[in-house]
Amino acid sequence: MTGSVRAANGLVATGHHLATQAGLAALRDGGSAADAAVAAAAVCAVVLPEATGVGGDLFALVYDARTRAVSAYNGSGAAPRSIDPGRFAGTGFPDRGAILATVPGAVAGWVDLAQDHGRLGLERLLAPAIRYAADGFPLSDRVARSLGSADARIGADVGSAATFAPRGRWLHGGEILQQPDLAVTLRAVAASGADGFYRGAVAERLAAGVRDMGGALSLDDLAAHRTDRPEPLAVAYRNLTVYGQPPVSQGHVLLEELALAEGLDLAAFGSDEQVHLMVELKKIAFADRDLHAGDPRVTGFDARCLLEPAFLAARRAAVGKRASDAVAGASFGTDTTYLCVVDRDGNAVSLIESVFSLFGAAALVPGTGVMLNNRLTGFSLDPRSANVLAPGKRPVHTLNAVLVLEGATPRFVYGTPGAQAQVQTNFQLAVGLIDHGLDPQRAIDAPRWYHESGRALLMEAGFSEKTRQGLAERGHHLTVLAGHDEKTGGAQVIGIEENGSFIGGADERRDGHAAGY
């Protein structure tokens, strides 16, 4: 473990050191936080192919120091308009395949962030990602392990094998991964913006390839895609304002957890009393998600109803002294990456992107370098669900980003990958940072718990025996993890000090890296 890093001019924290370097270089070249975030996110899409890519989705929160306002970007795509939900009746969703892809939204999200808040232009911002795609980079040990563990999913895919097994076997850590087709796709975006991906030659190759692979994504689906800019959600917590993403992001789950906790004492850090309360609040917020959450364009769902004082008071009263049962909700993919950036002018970006499961749909479209997402499996097939699959509808996402203001200026920018763990880990980080004043790295390194269903509770080994015993006595069924475990996420955190300097940390659970200047 290392301590937090400090800087006066800008700070970048991402899930890969090459992405952090790309973001930092953009800041040094006079770029804004949005410029650095786009540069870093694009590099992540090259060097973390198991977690993100141009075939994935993006959500971001941006603080603009000039307007002192927070804006939200929903860069997620819809189900193909030709999709037939009936084809999955009785069998459920397959494990892999192009049929699982929704419209990729990440590229449009990058372009819109750069246009709205950037200074450097796409050609400069995408240059590092293009270089790593064309010339290659040494594969990390972690990504190499992911290739091995994904063999059953990607082994039969021609595009994946050609890219990640050029010698007839999956690349090992330290070997050079080159993705020349991806470089061509990224060059088209650098030259033509969103049109370089969603229209024209790349879109035609992508749509034709998806069709040949049995998918439903069409040229019309791609051309119709736009980034949503919804009003962000916010709650007051301990004299700060915590901003989160509205649906289809699950940012409202974190905000409900915090709003419920606002009326409770969480002072005993790491104690069985504190952990019990937080786990039970998590169960309440997830139950509300499973009951209500769906694409608001279709369902009309307004997550603000879950943050009303009267509703929160009634839900808070349901917390008991013993562990409650909780029915397992939907299953969500685990492969995602998160990054955050602040610049010398006070701008801040909190950004998360994903292809959903490990290597997404395990379907890499030949000639494009695009690994498709499998976000369709984020839908429910239960016709009673607000999140039921329908053509042109967006699924519920675990993806959420966090931005915390003190008054009208940023105090913390943070987030984590980790599927169902995201809003649980973000809840724990908020309590560590805000309630207990931990610096970013200490908050990240603190042991975490993770709840999925019933009374089962995973706990990292750093909790005391007293805490574990107390939780067991309250009825929680504990499994102790060996140490820091990536199941609980891979967080990055930046704090803004009273004097305007920055302090940041990154998570060793997933090769995080923070640096500033």
Other C-beta atoms closer than 10 Å to the C-beta of 318 total 13
DSSP state of 182: H
Q: List helix spans (H) across 33-179.
A: 33-47, 106-117, 122-135, 141-149, 151-154, 158-164
CB 292 within 8 A of CB 300: no
Residue 163 is a catalytic residue = no
CB 460 within 8 A of CB 428: no
Other C-beta atoms closer than 10 Å to the C-beta of 1 total 9
**For residue 336, what are the β-bridge partners?**
354
Distance, CA of 266 to CA of 97 (rounded, Å): 45
Cβ neighbourhood burial of 138 (10 Å; 0-12, 13-18, 19+): middle
* Nearest in space to 38 (alpha carbons), one of 125, 115, 123: 125
Contacts of residue 313, Cβ cutoff 8 Å, sequence gap at least 6:
263
| Peptide bond connecting 54 to the previous residue in cis, omega within 30 degrees of 0 | no
Other C-beta atoms closer than 10 Å to the C-beta of 96 total 24
Distance, CA of 358 to CA of 373 (rounded, Å): 9
Q: Are strands 492-496 and 477-480 parallel, antiparallel or unpaired?
A: unpaired
Identity of the amino acid at 8: A
- The structure tokens listed for 230 are 């919804």
Candidates 336, 368, 467, 488; catalytic one: 336
The SS3 call for residue 233 is strand
The set of catalytic residues is 336
